[in-house]
Chain A
């Protein structure tokens, strides 16, 4: 029988994706190549599958989804989603699995020198982020969950997000069965973020692979990822690490940790930080180093979510909390010549029709 809990630092990177899903498996691959990731563990896809079998959820799910096909009406999908999600979030997961999870959470707290430390609980389905079906942003993430009971609830909610109406509709269109993508869930140390953001090892707009593009805001990255704030925009040339552009944005929203509520929430940016440049040159270099290490490992352009630890010192790495292949490529656009060729350039710009 496969383990229900897989610690990121104790899982063979070769089987990490199969056990921990695309996102957590991807993180497990990074420490061996020198990239820092948060400490944590995954509730494995196997644990989810066994839970579904043991508690009879499979029958419930099959009954609810059985009548749906790729032509299904939105209303029908919505009804099925509500029925499945209600069962998934309420059905007791059983003492064995619950104890394994809370036990692992207690150990993670100790490793982080605390008790009931805030964690990030992240969905990590098998097969998401694939080249053909990214499921981008469809599954749940909970930042700053504190205490065993709330961690268990967050895990169940992540499982349930596999059956949101959007996810069901997306699978129907893509011709995928939910059995093909069981849901692992990551429980990770919440890095105390001075700044966070995303970094692309190719321009997400033009597809140019000669640069790293960084977008960043103070605090946690939620406001950036959710598009609630215009972040600082930075472009760095890969060949010489030179900062090409740094556009300081007026950043009005910040994602902060609410200690009373136990979670990351959105708030107004303190006035003194609105127009202040988020990253200095050393920090930019650290982000670039991390994203390029990930790109070298995979051999293709990637985008990553990164966090700059409040306690990080100059020279230390930034923390990568997620990575995936860049979904925008330059394919289809007319590529620019790599050396000056007056005929090619004139044809492209002077004689275009």
Chain B
């Protein structure tokens, strides 16, 4: 029986106040970003976990230039035989995504023949291709870093913003041009390994243990932590909230001053990243180092430093052991096939790239747009630098060209739009995870692997398990081992400070800015994601038992519940509800009162 979750609550022409979506202003390849219409109910839409806060008007440029344009262009260019990429619909400020299928068998066949010529050389030359693309992104990055915005006229700032948007768009063209072939190759290898009779839970290990730029950042964070410990600064961190630590250290003087210099050096290299992927509304660590100081404060609470060298050596050893064990059960003929696949996937390593590229693309390429918007806000006399992030592209173009005065209605609109943003932020925890017609199976491996839309997930979201009674949940076994602890249900990485060492992180999904949390948590549970989602990869690197694709964990697990996470079997058990634990129920976060 087909399950249809109605889209009616999102069907509207109204959007952010003062803006009627027209779609003429944005580029799109196959299908544009839209609000929902009743027609969309025929398709299957899932709530994208990357933006748990929702997107501001300027942030929606990501949907237009990144998500829709980037995936659709890459899917046509490669091409992807069964699909034309991903399109998005908006539920208020929140993004629902759906794949665009190709249904004509003849066309799929022709696309496959084109792919046959495209894929092998791309994989063979991946290191060179990715190297050149990274260089291109970095060169433009250096250009934007070098521009002194304060010296530009408003007209030039407008020009700079247009360039910054083009840079952002190009970066995500690159992103998806790389992601599709890498993922296709990995999913093929994964399927082949499964058919060869290898244990699926071992396959991710074959490609682990290679350093990424994100891991390098984490290592430097721990070095900073060790330096703070050595300088005796623990009491300063312990006595202040994250946003007050910097000032407290400056006042402390002496060794604290030296340490702050070291922090600034760190930020100049690693601080150009935001607390979430592809969101212009988020500051970089350099702009607001509170998240860095907060992490260091948490790390200082642990008795010992995280030993990265030991963890990496263990990951490498585990990789080699897993490969040897796999080869031992294969015939010589199968070993040739396996070795070929492994070499190909190591040369074009999807799990590695999936972490590494965030440093160069997802966590930073919006920053030049943000800087230009802030500078424009300053010039037009906006009340807050972020105010221009609540303008739509046409509006900021008009304001920065002098065609429209900021005070001519925009200032008050911005305030209304902030309220609109907050209204939808509050609604986020209770939004349906999927809407439209739920299929029995999703065939697109990208949706299965990255978003965890496997048959179990589909059953759960179809409503079978949503009664709130379930005490045992299941999902994708993403990182082995068993972990037990108090659940922290977090809807936003901004809430990471609520996480204490030894607790279990429960969230929709994680992205790179959640990574440092893995050094202190006992286990991780995600609503979304498969074996290749961020939490799965980082869970394995940090040896944190992780279950992804649980479907509705953030609805069924209450903050403060004692839970057990079995990352080997994929089972999550609520051992004791929060109310039954000594000390009573910890304070529930906003939006949890219905649980």
Contact = CB atoms under 8 A, between A and B. Distances in A.
Given A346-B184, A349-B187, A351-B82, A340 B334 contact: no
Contacts of A341: 120
Contacts of B332: 210, 237, 239-240
Interface stretch (B111-119, B424-432, B485-493): B111-119
A352 B183 CA distance: 14
A339 B120 CA distance: 13
Interface stretch (B23-31, B188-196, B222-230, B274-282): B188-196
Contact of B191 (A239, A343, A348): A348
Nearest to A209: B333
Contacts of B258: none
A345 B329 contact: no
A343 B184 CA distance: 9
B437 interface: no
B493 to A, nearest CB: 31
Nearest to B124: A342
Contacts of B116: 343
Interface string B318-358: 00000000001111111011011101100000000000000
B533 interface: no
A340 B337 contact: yes
Nearest to B331: A237
A235 B197 CA distance: 12
A348 B108 CA distance: 14
B184 A350 contact: yes
A95 B119 CA distance: 79
Contact of B445 (A338, A339, A349): A349
B81 A352 contact: no
Given A237-B332, A244-B330, A340-B344, A346 B443 contact: no
A342 B445 contact: no
B123 interface: yes
Question: Which among A211, A245, A340, A353 has the highest number of chain B CB atoms within 10 Å?
Answer: A340
Interface residues of B, number: 36
A90 interface: no
Contacts of A338: 333, 336-337
Contacts of B190: 349
A341 B119 CA distance: 10
B330 A340 contact: no
A244 B188 contact: no
Contact of B328 (A239, A244, A340): A244
A332 interface: no
B340 A340 contact: yes
Contact of A336 (B82, B337, B445): B337
Interface of B is mostly: helix
A70 B188 CA distance: 49
A243 to B, nearest CB: 9
Nearest to A211: B331
Contacts of A237: 330-332
A238 interface: yes
Nearest to B449: A350
Interface residues of A, number: 26
A346 B344 CA distance: 12
A16 B426 CA distance: 86
Given A343-B115, A345-B341, A210 B184 contact: no
A343 B120 contact: yes
Nearest to A340: B340
B443 A347 contact: no
A337 interface: yes
Interface in B445-473: 445
Nearest to B112: A347
Contacts of B123: 342
A347 B81 contact: yes
B331 A239 contact: yes
A340 B341 contact: yes
Contacts of B571: none
A350 B445 contact: yes
Contacts of B112: 347, 351
B184 A339 contact: no
Contacts of B191: 345, 348-350
B474 interface: no
B160 interface: no
Contacts of A351: 80-82, 112, 184, 445
Given A235-B329, A240-B332, 8 more contacts: A210-B331, A244-B331, A336-B337, A345-B188, A346-B115, A347-B112, A349-B195, A349-B445
Interface of B: 80-82, 108, 112, 115-116, 119-120, 123, 183-185, 187-192, 195, 328-334, 336-337, 339-341, 343-344, 443, 445
10 closest residue pairs by CB, A with B: A349-B191, A340-B340, A345-B188, A237-B331, A346-B188, A350-B187, A239-B332, A210-B331, A346-B184, A343-B116
25 contacts: A210-B333, A210-B334, A240-B331, A240-B332, A244-B330, A337-B337, A338-B333, A338-B337, A339-B337, A339-B340, A340-B344, A341-B120, A342-B185, A342-B344, A345-B191, A346-B115, A346-B119, A347-B188, A348-B191, A348-B192, A349-B188, A350-B183, A350-B188, A350-B445, A351-B184
